[in-house]
Amino acid sequence: MKEMEMQQAQQQKQMEIDAKAMENEKDRRKDLLVAEIKAAGYGAMQDIDKNLQSDFRDTMDDIRKRQEFQDTMSFDQTKLNSNVQHQQEKLNIEREKINTQRDIKQMDVEIARTNKNKYDAPKKDEKKKKS
């Protein structure tokens, strides 16, 4: 029981650390996106690559595509983490079942020992009385 409580506490701490790391990553991405938009705005009126579209618009399209890719990857990572956590929970449940079965078997052995000793002792006394 104590071991399970310790594991749960450790899992809770890990989840808190992961959540904080995810928030920090979101903040970094937001700051980067803001900087990219500002930088793109400085060249808004130029068309260096001569594609008849302002470089600002080209840059914004690139930023949007990159953001969509990052969102997709983030979603996939979240889904993967969820699957890993689900598998870990399954393993913990299986481990708990095995431990419970082991405890039950251990109790059965103790009961069998107690019963064996309980019923063997009077037979020895009866043999002495008959002799």
Ranges of each domain in the chain? 2-130
In 3D space, the residue among 40, 42, 47 whose CA is nearest the CA of residue 61 turns out to be: 40
22-79 pLDDT, tens per residue? 899 999 988 988 887 777 666 666 666 677 666 677 777 888 898 889 888 988 888 9
Residue among 5, 7, 15, 1 nearest 81 (CA) = 15
Residue 40: count of CB within 10 angstroms of its CB: 19
Judging by beta carbons within 10 Å of its beta carbon (0-12, 13-18, 19+), is residue 58 exposed, middle or buried? middle
